[in-house]
Structure 1
Amino acid sequence: MLIARLIADPEGLETRLDRVVNALSEKGMSVAMVRMLEHAGKVLHLSLPEGDMRTLRAVVEDIMQPQAALFSTNDIEIPKLFVSDMDSTIIGQECIDELADFAGMKDQVSEITERAMLGELDFEAALRERVALLSGLEESAIDRCLAERIRPMAGARTLLNTLKAHGCRTVLVTGGFHHFADAVAEDLGFDRVVGNRLEVASGALTGGLVGPIADSSTKLNVLLEERAKISSPHVMAAGDGANDIPMLGEADYGIAYMAKPKARDAASGWVDTGNLSDILDLLDIPIGDRAG
Structure 2
Amino acid sequence: MLIARLIADIATRETSQDLLARALREEGVALATAEVLADGDVLEMRFTDGDPQVVLAAIDSVFSPADMLVSRGPIFLPQVFVSDMDSTMIGQECIDELADYAGIKAQIAEITERAMQGELDFVAALRERVALLEGLGEGAIGECLAERISPTPGAKTLVATLSAQGCRTVLVTGGFHHFADPVGAMLGFDRVVGNRLEVVGGKLTGGLLGDIVDSGVKAAVLAEEAAGGRISLATGDGANDIPMIAAATYGFAYLAKPKARAAANGRVDRGDLTAVLSLLGIARSDWVEA
Q: How does 1:203-222 map to 2 (within 5 A)?
A: 203-222=202-221
Q: Is the 8 A contact 2:65 2:270 kept in 1?
A: no
Q: How does 1:111-260 map to 2 (within 5 A)?
A: 111-228=110-227, 231-260=228-257
Aligned with residue 263 of structure 2, among 260, 263, 266: 266
Report what 1:284 is aligned to: 281
Report what 2:2 is aligned to: 2
The whole-number CA distance in structure 2 between the counterparts of 1:254 and 1:217 is 16
Q: How does 1:83-94 map to 2 (within 5 A)?
A: 83-94=82-93
The whole-number CA distance in structure 1 between the counterparts of 2:50 and 2:268 is 24
Amino acid at match of 1:269: G
Task: Calculate the TM-score normalised by the size of structure 2.
Answer: 0.97
Q: Is the 8 A contact 2:235 2:251 kept in 1?
A: yes
| Aligned-partner SS, 1:32 | strand
The whole-number CA distance in structure 1 between the counterparts of 2:35 and 2:237 is 29
Report what 2:14 is aligned to: 14
Query: Considering only aligned residues, what root-mean-square deviation do their CA atoms show, in Å?
Result: 1.0
Q: Is the 8 A contact 1:159 1:277 kept in 2?
A: yes
The whole-number CA distance in structure 2 between the counterparts of 1:54 and 1:197 is 37
Q: Is the 8 A contact 1:7 1:66 kept in 2?
A: no
The whole-number CA distance in structure 2 between the counterparts of 1:177 and 1:273 is 29
Report what 1:23 is aligned to: 23
| Aligned-partner SS, 1:12 | helix
| Aligned-partner SS, 1:41 | coil
Percent identity for Structure 1 against Structure 2: 60
Task: Calculate the TM-score normalised by the size of structure 1.
Answer: 0.97
Aligned-pair distance for 1:233? 4.2
Aligned-pair distance for 1:163? 0.1
Q: Is the 8 A contact 1:6 1:66 kept in 2?
A: no
Aligned-pair distance for 1:274? 4.8
Report what 2:32 is aligned to: 32
| Aligned-partner SS, 1:56 | helix
Q: Is the 8 A contact 1:80 1:232 kept in 2?
A: no
The whole-number CA distance in structure 2 between the counterparts of 1:74 and 1:119 is 31
Aligned-pair distance for 1:74? 1.6
Q: What is the CA deviation profile of residues 217-248 of structure 1, one whole-angstrom value per residue up to 9, with x for unaligned ones?
A: 000000001111xx344200000000000000
Report what 2:49 is aligned to: 50
Aligned-pair distance for 1:26? 2.4
Q: What is the CA deviation profile of residues 88-136 of structure 1, one whole-angstrom value per residue up to 9, with x for unaligned ones?
A: 0000000000000000010000000000000000001100110011100
Q: Which stretch shifts more, 139-148 or 54-63?
A: 54-63
Where does the alignment leave 5 or more consecutive residues of structure 1 unmatched? none
Amino acid at match of 1:215: D
Where does the alignment leave 5 or more consecutive residues of structure 2 unmatched? none
The whole-number CA distance in structure 2 between the counterparts of 1:213 and 1:275 is 30
The whole-number CA distance in structure 1 between the counterparts of 2:45 and 2:186 is 37
